């Protein structure tokens, strides 16, 4: 059911030997920007194309780094311009630069869907000192990377990543979702249309919405979610602001934070979203003002009613324990996404470059 697309050890050994000879002959330099590991070479999912994703490459299509530590976003990244060395911060849980063999990248995540749709690309966002982006084609429904986090987290997690949507796009489910499952699962099990019980699972998504392919919003499943107009429990959309839209053909810095409810009997959980360092939504107990329309919470400062908060769980065994990077495109084979600079941490991370957090 799950296509990991990782070559067998025998084939991989042969391929690595041939590639070593080729690299020696062409003197390609692909050193990783954090200087802590092996060369970064794009195998193209087996296509054999080579891309130099190291810093200073003349063949790269990356934007020119313009990071200034003093002006960087007020978060973890302010101490690690360009994410260099950010994995050493005590709050950081996971870092993915896509500067390695695809097979190594796949093994770091765990579960892979349609690995043959994935290639590495030297196009990276401004402020990046090197590395690659991961490109996921939309053919055959797209693809995903899923990672089980161990140990699980009982308080707060933020995930920060860069995504580039094509200029002509009709996204379905995209981005990096974060959530919890009990018992822990090594693969995604969203159970679309079914309301969680409070002890089985929850999902916090931040993505371009299905109903309006360029509007950015929450897509959340939890035990207190509201029923949609068709009687099913689809992911609740909680911002509904037509002015908050996805950039097309440009890199977008996305960060969203999930705070679990503690104690588990309360609804004091939270979910917040930042785009390019600007907070566009934050929901928690008693904020923001707004009202429900089926499975949509309409944020509206003119009304007196407020969001009730998130009771993500009613069982302490259910914790934050997975992230899910995806380009799910069941109807648009041309919907190709690029991802770069993924960081998961226990506090706000911030974008590679730009002003302070808003």
Any idea what the CATH number is for the domain that residue 148 is in? 2.60.120.200
Task: Give the least confident one: 139-153, 176-190, 208-222, 243-257.
Answer: 208-222
Question: In the 3-class helix/strand/coil scheme, how is the chain assigned residue by residue?
Answer: CCCCCCCCHHHHHHHHHHHHHHHHHHCCCCCCCCCCCCCCCCCHHHCCCCCCCCCCCCCCCCCCCCCCCCCCCCCHHHHCHHHCCHHHCCCEEEEECCCCCHHHHHHHHEEEECHHHEEEECCCCCCCCCCCEEEECCCCEEEEEEEEEEEEECCEEEEEEEEEECCCCCCCEEEEEEEEECCCCCCCCCCCECCCCCCCEEEEEEEECCCCCCEEEEEEECCCCCCCCCCCECCEECCCCCCCECCECCEEEEEEEEECCCCCCCCCEEEEEEECCEEEEEEECCECEEEEECCEEEECCCCCCECCCECCCCCCCCCEEEEEEEEEECCCCCCCEEEEEEEEECCCCCCCCCCCCC
pLDDT of residue 14 exceeding 50, the answer is no
The answer as to whether 253 is a domain residue is yes
Alpha-carbon distance of 208 to 219, in angstroms, equals: 9
Mean pLDDT of 131-158: 96
What's the rounded mean pLDDT across residues 72-94?
Answer: 90
Whether 2 is covered by a domain: the verdict is no
In a domain, 355, yes or no: no
Task: State the pLDDT at residue 68.
Answer: 37
354 occurs within a structural domain: no
In a domain, 4, yes or no: no
| pTM of the model as a whole | 0.82
Q: Is residue 279 part of a domain?
A: yes
Does residue 106 fall inside a structural domain? yes
- Is position 145 within any domain? yes
Identify the domain containing residue 92 by its residue range.
9-345
- Return mean pLDDT, the chain: 82
Residues 6+ apart with CB under 8 A from 313: 180, 198, 199, 202, 222, 223, 260, 261, 264, 319
pLDDT for the residue 334:
85
| Predicted pLDDT at 61 | 39
Q: What is the pLDDT of residue 58?
A: 32
- Average confidence (pLDDT) over 67-75: 49
pLDDT for the residue 113? 96
Whether residue 194 has pLDDT greater than 60:
yes
At 358 the pLDDT is 60
Tell me, what's the pLDDT at 197? 97
Count of structural domains within the chain: 1
């Amino acid at each position: 059911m799950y296509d990991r697309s990782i070559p067998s050890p025998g084939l991989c050994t042969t391929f690595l030997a041939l590639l070593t000879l080729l690299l020696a002959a062409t003197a390609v330099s692909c050193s990783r920007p954090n200087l802590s590991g092996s060369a970064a070479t794009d195998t193209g999912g087996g296509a054999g194309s080579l891309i130099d994703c190291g810093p200073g490459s003349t063949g790269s299509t990356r934007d020119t780094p313009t990071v200034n530590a003093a002006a960087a976003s007020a978060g973890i990244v302010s101490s690690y311009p360009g994410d260099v060395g950010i994995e050493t911060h005590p709050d950081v849980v996971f870092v993915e630069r896509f500067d390695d063999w695809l097979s190594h990248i796949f093994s770091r995540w765990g579960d892979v869907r349609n690995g043959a749709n994935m290639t590495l690309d030297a196009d990276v966002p401004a402020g990046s000192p090197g590395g690659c982006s991961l490109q996921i084609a939309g053919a055959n429904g797209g693809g995903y990377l899923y990672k089980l986090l161990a140990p699980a987290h009982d308080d707060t997690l933020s995930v920060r990543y860069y995504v580039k949507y094509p200029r002509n796009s009709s996204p379905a489910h995209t981005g990096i979702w974060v959530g919890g499952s009990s018992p822990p699962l090594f693969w995604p099990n969203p159970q679309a249309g079914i309301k969680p019980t409070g002890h089985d699972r929850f999902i916090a998504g931040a993505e371009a919405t299905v109903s309006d392919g360029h509007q950015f919003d929450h897509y959340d499943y939890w035990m207190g979610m509201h029923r949609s107009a068709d009687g099913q429990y689809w992911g609740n959309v909680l911002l509904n602001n037509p002015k908050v839209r996805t950039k097309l053909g440009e890199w977008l810095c996305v960060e969203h934070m999930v705070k679990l409810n503690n104690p588990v009997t309360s609804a004091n959980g939270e979910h917040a979203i930042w785009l390019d360092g600007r907070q566009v939504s934050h929901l928690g107990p008693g904020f923001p003002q707004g009202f429900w329309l089926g499975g949509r919470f309409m944020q509206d400062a003119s009304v007196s009613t407020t969001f009730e908060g998130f009771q993500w769980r009613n069982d302490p065994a259910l914790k934050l324990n997975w992230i899910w990077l995806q380009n799910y495109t069941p109807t648009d084979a041309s919907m190709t996404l690029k991802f770069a600079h993924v960081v998961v941490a226990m506090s706000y991370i911030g974008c590679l470059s730009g002003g302070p957090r808003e």
